[in-house]
A and B are shown apart, each in its own frame.
Chain A
Amino acid sequence: MNVGSGEQIKKRFAEIYDATYDYIFKYILSKVSSREAVEDIIQNVYLKFYKRMCDEGNLKVLNPKHYLLRSAKGMIADYYSELSKADTESIDEGIEIIDEKALDLLMNDNGYEYNDILRMIKEMDAVTYKIFILHFGYGYTIIQVADKLDLKESTVKSKIYRALKRLKKEITDKEGEKYAYFRRT
């Protein structure tokens, strides 16, 4: 029996992980309605794969992407068997008409701190999270994002605008508090 060493398996897994992660992530992202679930599922997809590689000493998989995709689909099916899609059904309601220039300024502002961005991501609703990941993380155009998520283009823009506006306001407020603190001292 040809059994690979732990390091060999880890190396092979790392290569597969690097080669397939974005594809699998985007697939799960497009199918699952919450950020937590996206991360849980992708984590478990790869964990299951890696454990199998370890358990079997050597696992011969010539098409890991397809295997991982199938595994992801299975886990997504499990996820949806327990979950309603309620949170995605009314997302087009109450969308405001946004100021395109203001949106452009917010998107190209380089004054954001990474920790603020992380906090914003944590507080985002699922749809906004997907929009941000696809548009800013993977470089999809607004139209592509809208198409991918089956949303109106205006909805995508509005979601981005709202999130960035809120983030900007929080940063501004925080700055204000900082100055206020200095004034008190």
Chain B
Amino acid sequence: MRISDGLKKYQEDTKNRIFENIMASTASSEETQGYSSLTENRDNGSDNIIGATNDKAMVKRDWTGLIAIAACAVLAVGVGTVMMKGIAPQNEFVKGTAASETESSDQVVDSKVKAEIRDSESYYEDGMTFSDLLEQSDEVVELSVQGHELIRVADDTADVRDNALYAEYTAVYEYDTDKSGVIFKTSEDAYNKTAGTRYLQYLGKAEEDINTELLTAKNGDKVLVFTKKGVTEEDLQIGSAKNLTTSDSIYKFDIRTHRYVNIVSPGKYEEEVNEYVLNTLTGMTPSAVSRWSAYHRVSLVTMEENSDTVESGKIIDLEWSEDRNAFVMTVSR
């Protein structure tokens, strides 16, 4: 046997062995037996099984080992990826960009696999998935909250055109018995360039869908919101009003944890949203990512790396690094 044939066989055997280990470990009914059985198989197996176990490699990570549902959702809306069109002036994640413009090979997945996986997704208790949220949204916008409090829910039925009311940027407008909505105003865009006043409202039953005790966004917070068209009540003639897609449409960027958090339902869609943003940014240009990090006042470290699959100058990956206390952007050399 030639050495190359031996190595190829070894590779194939290793691949099969790992697959079998995974199957064997998950077949066990005991919760913790999964990881340990890997060790057992490796140590007690055939001649093909060599090596030892490194327990440290088994540490579970909540943040970096994210679910790619977000990436799925990006694709689920009918495009290969999402590009943040006009990130500087409008700071909006806008869907509809051709995949070929921004898609890295990392993001290329076999269409059959893609289609099959798309058939299934975890559903939240309300029966809605993150994909649903994304599909129903016309745009995803980052905004700076300006005001003392972002949202104060009250039974106030004051005229929404009352400047005094909006001076505090807080209001709940109940203009119809079945159309309660949270409305808030922002006066700056995400990159400190004036984009005009925005009014966002949720056209659902606020008293049912929004737990007011958990609304935590405040002045100065950076929020990511999912919005859809068709918003405004005809008599709501205020700026570029938009609908919040759902009650879970607002995500605050938490500078402490360097991730977006749901301000209405903590935890909900958060992994997906964070993955969505990182995937979106990964499909953009390095300078766009720089602007994003500057906006959020988080450190960004750029590293270059040779890549067989990603075109030179394109982003290979973007992720938070605890060691560096910064987002690390890897760009193809």
A80 to chain B, nearest CB (A): 8
Q: Does A113 lie at the interface of the complex (its beta carbon under 8 Å from any beta carbon of B)?
A: yes
Cβ-defined contact, B19 with A17, below 8 A: yes
Convert A14-35 into 0s and 1s, putting 1 for each residue whose CB lies closer than 8 angstroms to a CB of B: 1111010101010000000011
Q: Does B11 lie at the interface of the complex (its beta carbon under 8 Å from any beta carbon of A)?
A: yes
Residue of A nearest to B122 (CB): A56
Cβ-defined contact, B71 with A61, below 8 A: yes
Cβ-defined contact, A47 with B61, below 8 A: no
Q: Does A12 lie at the interface of the complex (its beta carbon under 8 Å from any beta carbon of B)?
A: yes
Cβ-defined contact, B22 with A43, below 8 A: yes
Cβ-defined contact, A59 with B317, below 8 A: no
Cβ-defined contact, B50 with A71, below 8 A: no
Cβ contacts under 8 Å, B3 to chain A: 106-107, 109, 112, 117, 132, 136, 164
A181 to chain B, nearest CB (A): 22
* Chain B interface, >50% SS class: helix
| Number of inter-chain CB pairs below 8 Å | 235
Q: Does B239 lie at the interface of the complex (its beta carbon under 8 Å from any beta carbon of A)?
A: no
Q: Does A141 lie at the interface of the complex (its beta carbon under 8 Å from any beta carbon of B)?
A: no
Convert B1-30 into 0s and 1s, putting 1 for each residue whose CB lies closer than 8 angstroms to a CB of A: 111111111110011001101110110000
Contact surface of A with B, Cβ cutoff 8 Å: 1-4, 10, 12, 14-17, 19, 21, 23, 25, 34-37, 39-44, 46-48, 50-52, 54, 56-67, 69-71, 73-75, 77-79, 81-83, 106-115, 117-118, 121-122, 132-133, 136-139, 147-148, 164
Contact surface of B with A, Cβ cutoff 8 Å: 1-11, 14-15, 18-19, 21-23, 25-26, 34-35, 38, 42, 47-48, 50-54, 56-61, 63-69, 71-76, 106-110, 112-114, 116-123, 129, 131, 275, 279, 306, 309, 317, 319, 321-323
Write 25 A-B pairs (CB below 8 A) sorted by A numbering. A3-B120, A12-B113, A23-B309, A35-B50, A39-B51, A41-B57, A44-B38, A46-B22, A47-B25, A48-B60, A50-B22, A59-B69, A59-B117, A60-B121, A62-B71, A62-B75, A63-B109, A67-B71, A67-B275, A74-B65, A78-B59, A112-B6, A117-B7, A118-B48, A122-B51
